[in-house]
Amino acid sequence: MATAGKVIKCKAAVAWEADSPLVIEEIEVAPPQKNEIRLKVIAASICLSDVYHMYKGKPKDGFPVVMGHEGAGIVESVGPGVTEFKPGDKVIPLYLSQCRDCKFCKNPKTNMCEKDWSGNQMFKQSPSEIRFTCRSKPLLQFMRTGIFSEYTIKNKIALVKVHDDAQLDRVFLFGCGVSTGYGAAINNAKVCPGSVCAVFGLGAVGLSAVMGCKHAGASRIIAVDINEERFEKAKILGATDFVNPKLHQKPISEVLIEMTNGGVDYSVECVGQVDVMRSALESCIKGWGVSVIAGWTDLYDFSARPIQLIAGRTWKGTSFGGFKGKDDVPKLVLDHMAGRINLDVFVTHNMNLDQINEVFCFISISIQLH
């Protein structure tokens, strides 16, 4: 392409500081360096983690930053050492890399990768890794992605090629939310046919968890949310029962225990609040109940009475639904193309980059309601 090897000037949504609106700026995107790929972003969406970074987590060294990590695009150019990608390839950025060489990548029990992931350093980049600048100031890439830019840069271990016929304005959802919720049910909880499940929180992650429970063969899926408008989509994706905690005087865990004669076999927490995490665990049946934390937070400690685990329950977490990105995302895309994974239900609005603050405002309000 004509832009290969040159600095590209383009629009991006920049968070200069916490608790402030994003600013649409003209930024400079450097050419890709060794083992890097520069891509033109075609579609992206806002994840709750983006809002969390700006309005809750607010790390002092996490700004200024180009936000966003869930999206898809087309390869514009590649740097030295890149052989598995070429200009024109359709790709999905991965916030959780897969180098295939480290002890984690080689272990089938996890999707962690020691070359990229560190829970409290997902936004940090050394000066030598900076590829975005604006007004001569370096900009970070949120989760080393920075998808709210017309162009972005990714390392080859954090990018995956997908089918040439993939619909990018749908499959970009596999970059975070859908993979996380769907995998939480099938990979981490390992939902069994005929089981009873509960999903706490019906945003994109929660709705995907409902879909995962359904695909795994659950006979009963209880959707839990204080926003009843979300129940309709949950029903489309397989939910059978619907509970609004605000309509009950007793704790939601007691409500679910009564509904299921002892508790659910599996629960998935998709809100990112520690009190909900505990409720999800306590909703599980003793002896074999499994609860998976899929919601993100790093502000507070969580707790539970030891008897909850002593009695045989299992409490675990998930990142990216347990999927190894480079191995598994192409398979998810093929499942969508074959009609096995419904992504249309997740797309509610189509907006341009200039409207991004409208979306952030709406999501921020939604967070405060939980």
**Mean pLDDT over each residue of the chain, to the nearest integer:** 93
Task: Between 2 and 234, name the one with better pLDDT.
Answer: 234
Is 53 noted as a catalytic residue in this protein? yes
113 pLDDT above the threshold of 70: yes
Can you tell me the distance from the alpha carbon of 333 to that of 328, in angstroms, rounded to the nearest whole number?
9
The CB-side HSE value for 321 (13 A sphere, CA atoms) comes to 28
pLDDT in tens, 80-90: 999 999 999 99
Catalytic residue among 10, 105, 113, 176: 176
Residues in the chain: 370
What pLDDT score does 51 carry?
A: 86
pLDDT in tens, 158-209: 999 999 999 999 999 999 999 999 999 999 999 999 999 999 999 999 999 9
Neighbours of 335 (CB within 10 A): 14
Catalytic residue among 47, 213, 270, 284: 47
What pLDDT score does 367 carry?
A: 41
Is 69 noted as a catalytic residue in this protein? yes
Among 198, 170, 205, smallest CA distance to 184 is for: 205
State both tokens at 255.
Answer: 């409500």
Phi, psi angle pair for 138, to nearest 5°: -70, 145
What pLDDT score does 121 carry?
A: 55
**Per-residue pLDDT averaged across 33-46, rounded?**
96
112 pLDDT above the threshold of 90: yes
Catalytic residue among 69, 149, 208, 284: 69
Hey, what domains does the chain have and what are their CATH numbers? 8-175+339-365 (3.90.180.10), 178-319 (3.40.50.720)
What pLDDT score does 71 carry?
A: 97
Phi, psi angle pair for 120, to nearest 5°: -105, 15
Catalytic residue among 45, 53, 213, 336: 53
pLDDT in tens, 121-169: 555 677 788 999 999 999 999 999 999 999 999 999 999 999 999 999 9
Is 370 noted as a catalytic residue in this protein? no
**Residue pointed to by tokens 């999903």:** 199
Task: Between 249 and 349, name the one with better pLDDT.
Answer: 249
40 pLDDT above the threshold of 80: yes
364 pLDDT above the threshold of 60: no
301 pLDDT above the threshold of 90: yes
What pLDDT score does 362 carry?
A: 60
119 pLDDT above the threshold of 70: no
The CB-side HSE value for 311 (13 A sphere, CA atoms) comes to 15
Can you tell me the distance from the alpha carbon of 46 to that of 52, in angstroms, rounded to the nearest whole number?
11
Catalytic residue among 10, 20, 45, 49: 49
**Per-residue pLDDT averaged across 90-99, rounded?**
96
What pLDDT score does 366 carry?
A: 43
Phi, psi angle pair for 150, to nearest 5°: -70, -25
Can you tell me the distance from the alpha carbon of 344 to that of 207, in angstroms, rounded to the nearest whole number?
12
pLDDT in tens, 314-339: 999 999 999 999 999 999 999 999 99
Beta bridge partners of 241: 222
**Per-residue pLDDT averaged across 87-111, rounded?**
96
Which range (50-64, 149-163, 209-223, 326-340) has the least confidence?
50-64
